[in-house]
Structure 1
Amino acid sequence: MSGSLDGVRVIDLTQALSGPFCTSLLADHGADVVKVESPHGDFLRNAGPFPSGDEHQAYGGVFGSANRNKRGIVLDLKTTAAREVLLRLVDEADVLVENFSAGVMDRLGLGYRTLADRNPRLVYTSIRGFGDTVGGASPYRDWPAFDIVAQAMGGLMSITGPDADTPVRAGSGIGDTVPGLFAAFGTMAALREAERTGRGQYVDVAMVDSVLAVSEVVVNTYAATGTSPRPIGNQLHGFAPFDTVRAKDGTVTLGAPHRAQWTKLCAVMERPELVTDERFSTDHARWVNRQAVYEIVNDWTEQRTVAELVDLLGGEVPLAPVMDAEAIFADPHFAARDMLPTVEHPGTGEPIAVTGVPVKLSATPGRVARRAPLLGEHTEEVLHEAGFDDHAIESLCAAGAVRRGESA
């Protein structure tokens, strides 16, 4: 693969979603990401969904998407020999990413200081629920965390849902993927510094911090008013109309909170008098009188189908149908933007879609070119590149330090 990160070698010790999502972003743009798994493999392999007909079930859909474009090896880091292999790999690496519990890498003798002494230009990125000590030692540093924990303690669940008594987790794993995004950004910033100075550094990412960073309503409202914002469904505080509205055959999202958008909406509704009505004549007035705003808008929208509303308002004011997976796969936008590329699934030999590359670079656009690896699929290939001959690899396998993987 080639891309803007061509020539960057990443050692990926991550599992689950946050870390693999981070390293997949680097791999999409050409980094050579070597995923290191234990003999049991990343537990996310066992989570579905699995395509029909996949009797082998080497990995499910989430694993496949988060680990595309990577090579995979097996090292049992509980053995001294495997740790020595990893140190050899680190010697030639630019980045190492891990999301173990705090202290695990140090107990293995593979902590940041050990690796940085061997390879001073190494960028070492960790993702933990509450971070490590570099960015500030949290009293919760040793607590385990999942996506739902990050969404809860990062404030997002306090503003998501129909009301204050019904906190709701966002439907996708953004408590994992948002930290993964920040980790990829931090890794790139540290790589840039390493290019300038020859010195790497530790990139410390906390899942909870990352969720708080994108929960702007939580921080900004409390900082300005001293009150904690509460869930208000699909609305946004201070903006109206900005919500889901009823159609004859479903629901659409509609945002026309500013005067120019409100004026266009009133024109399409053939209600121009609403523009100068003192209840709705300013952005703030429409928020204060939002109940009346929504009554008027819903009275109009519920007389029309979703398709009719899209035809009338699409391109005029921000409006969209609530699209499920079937609609997304059929929509021309996602095809035009190559957001549903396919790779061969090893269990069926058939193509299967994964999410595409959302960042579009003009000269080096990145791409999804390789499916996720089978467990240990590239062990021999990577070890040969690191200077291990066949005899050495055979000895490592016999000692249980490494494991040859399956081929497709």
Structure 2
Amino acid sequence: MQGLRVLDFTQALAGPFCTQQLADLGAEVVKVEGLSGGDLSRGSGPFHEADPEHRYSGYFHSINRGKKSIAIDLKSAAGVDIVKRLIAGFDVVVENFRAGVMDRFGLSYETLSGLNPKLVYCAIRGFGDPRTGKSPYVDWPAYDVVAQAMGGMMGVTGLAGGTPIKIGPGVGDSIPGLYAALGIVAAVLHARATGEGQFLDVGMADAVLGVCERIVHQQAFGHQVPGPEGNHHPFLLPFGVYPATDGFVALACPNDHFFRALVEALDAPEVLHDERFATPKARAQNRQAVIERLSDLTARFSKAELQQRLGGRVPFGPVLSIAEIAIDPHFAARDMLPELEFPGFPEPMRVAGQPIKFTRTPAAVSRRGPDLGADTEAVLLAHGASPADIGRWRKAGAIPGGDG
């Protein structure tokens, strides 16, 4: 994505996660932040003990690496003028304000596309944007937990028959971010082929529903309304989480070939002589008995012992903590924990890597996120502003460094 320029008005998680994917893949991403504090995640931590001034939030740098930062007061006429001056030099705008906020700034899609007809404008909102389908919830604020709840994910997560549970990571934000990045690439390809930009948006609740597709076909084809499913698949067996002496492992052996290999590796071939377990149909009819019998078998071994017996023979994986992931050879081989340098830190800090791998255009996780406003002057000069312009904007308090 070399040569793609993105003007990034996002904050929190969904938007920055989207634009970080583009930055990793080679886009130039210029993050637009307010003069006071910047992105909300800058103050969220966690902070390293070598950073008593709390300059480098782990959260911020996990979703803003590789970007530039310019600080602009969008509530000022001069700040709005700066964005309008910049817009001709960018291919993409991304924002995740509530519906209407950019319009009130005077920076709506219609205004900006009038200045740059090839512009791709992407919005990520809780319930979408009126331009593509006005939801009755369009004005509702939303965060991850709301998207997980309303998109159907939380309704099937938790102990079977129990209370719905939020998934640990903020997938109600990151999933919309990934959908938005895909949509941006598609819209940019269209713009480059036709000269036509466009508006696109991703609703957070919509994106969560998009990855919960199973609940849709269960209701439509099977007339089911699934609830919390626990740690086992609702109709494949065995397909779930089983105990070890020191934790848990995941197994997925729903066909005869894998099931036979599983029980043989667990030193329990006699299971196959039990009519309740002899065929997939029999196992489906004796679901709880299968789960309990396999749990008794796996509980005799540690995760490492199970990995030795099952790894490579059947679909298997230990449930890993981040401490275990950090020393696992797979993630090292796949460069999934790259390290970034921070001023004053005694060692580099790990971040989650880019899972998209290329043979010719590798993704780059090469530098930490930007300091607030660190690139303001350089970006403005590169996009045609004069030193006099910068002095005037500073004096007006629209960018850092003036008397305000």
Same fold (TM over 0.5): yes
CA contact (8 A) 1:238 1:284 kept: no
Greater alpha carbon shift after TM alignment, 124-133 vs 109-118:
109-118
CA contact (8 A) 1:239 1:286 kept: no
Alignment match, 2:339:
342
CA contact (8 A) 2:50 2:346 kept: no
Q: Deviations over 1:154-179 (max 9, x none)?
A: 01010001134411100000000000
Is 1:20 the counterpart of 2:16? The answer is yes
Greater alpha carbon shift after TM alignment, 217-226 vs 275-284:
275-284
Q: Deviations over 1:50-95 (max 9, x none)?
A: 1112122123112101000100000101111111111111111100
Alignment match, 1:304:
301
Paired residue for 1:185, among 182, 185, 206? Answer: 182
Alignment match, 1:259:
256
> Where do residues 43-82 of structure 1 align in structure 2 (5 Å cutoff)?
43-82=40-79
CA contact (8 A) 1:69 1:371 kept: yes
Measured at CA, do residues 328 and 395 of structure 1 come closer, stay the same or move farther in structure 2, by a change above 3 Å?
same
CA contact (8 A) 1:356 1:367 kept: no
Measured at CA, do residues 225 and 164 of structure 1 come closer, stay the same or move farther in structure 2, by a change above 3 Å?
same
CA contact (8 A) 1:376 1:404 kept: no
Letter in 1 for 2:35: P
Letter in 2 for 1:233: G
Is 1:376 the counterpart of 2:376? The answer is no
Alignment match, 2:118:
121
CA contact (8 A) 1:151 1:169 kept: yes
Alignment match, 1:30:
26
Paired residue for 1:326, among 315, 318, 323? Answer: 323
Offset of residue 273 of structure 1: 4.9
Letter in 1 for 2:17: F
Offset of residue 276 of structure 1: 6.2
Q: Whole-Å Cα distance in 2 between the matches of residues 251 and 106 of structure 1? A: 50
Alignment match, 1:108:
105
Measured at CA, do residues 164 and 399 of structure 1 come closer, stay the same or move farther in structure 2, by a change above 3 Å?
farther
Give secondary structure in 2 for the equivalent of 1:36.
strand
Give secondary structure in 1 for the equivalent of 2:49.
coil
Q: Whole-Å Cα distance in 2 between the matches of residues 248 and 350 of structure 1? A: 35
Q: Whole-Å Cα distance in 2 between the matches of residues 286 and 404 of structure 1? A: 71
CA contact (8 A) 1:377 1:404 kept: no
Q: Whole-Å Cα distance in 2 between the matches of residues 332 and 404 of structure 1? A: 48
Q: Deviations over 1:122-147 (max 9, x none)?
A: 00000000000233110000000000
Measured at CA, do residues 102 and 349 of structure 1 come closer, stay the same or move farther in structure 2, by a change above 3 Å?
farther
Gaps of 5+ in 1: none
Is 1:223 the counterpart of 2:202? The answer is no
| Matched length | 401
Alignment match, 1:244:
241
Is 1:295 the counterpart of 2:292? The answer is yes
Give secondary structure in 1 for the equivalent of 2:326.
helix
Offset of residue 347 of structure 1: 5.7
Letter in 2 for 1:126: A
Q: Whole-Å Cα distance in 1 between the matches of residues 92 and 317 of structure 2? A: 40
Is 1:209 the counterpart of 2:206? The answer is yes
Measured at CA, do residues 226 and 68 of structure 1 come closer, stay the same or move farther in structure 2, by a change above 3 Å?
same
Q: Percent identity?
A: 50
Q: Deviations over 1:274-302 (max 9, x none)?
A: 44654334434323212111222122212
CA contact (8 A) 1:58 1:347 kept: no
Offset of residue 394 of structure 1: 1.7
Gaps of 5+ in 2: none
Alignment match, 2:35:
39
Measured at CA, do residues 196 and 282 of structure 1 come closer, stay the same or move farther in structure 2, by a change above 3 Å?
farther
Greater alpha carbon shift after TM alignment, 332-341 vs 262-271:
262-271
Measured at CA, do residues 118 and 299 of structure 1 come closer, stay the same or move farther in structure 2, by a change above 3 Å?
same
Measured at CA, do residues 213 and 44 of structure 1 come closer, stay the same or move farther in structure 2, by a change above 3 Å?
same
Paired residue for 1:316, among 313, 318, 325? Answer: 313
Is 1:358 the counterpart of 2:355? The answer is yes
Offset of residue 272 of structure 1: 3.7
Q: Whole-Å Cα distance in 1 between the matches of residues 344 and 91 of structure 2? A: 33
Alignment match, 2:266:
269
* TM-score calculated relative to the size of structure 1: 0.95
Q: Whole-Å Cα distance in 2 between the matches of residues 64 and 75 of structure 1? A: 20
CA contact (8 A) 2:144 2:170 kept: yes
CA RMSD, Structure 1 to Structure 2 (Å):
1.6
* TM-score calculated relative to the size of structure 2: 0.96
Paired residue for 1:168, among 165, 169, 193? Answer: 165
Q: Whole-Å Cα distance in 2 between the matches of residues 213 and 183 of structure 1? A: 13
Q: Whole-Å Cα distance in 2 between the matches of residues 85 and 92 of structure 1? A: 12
Is 1:9 the counterpart of 2:5? The answer is yes
Letter in 1 for 2:140: W
Give secondary structure in 2 for the equivalent of 1:402.
coil
Q: Whole-Å Cα distance in 1 between the matches of residues 162 and 268 of structure 2? A: 37
Give secondary structure in 1 for the equivalent of 2:206.
helix
Letter in 1 for 2:289: A
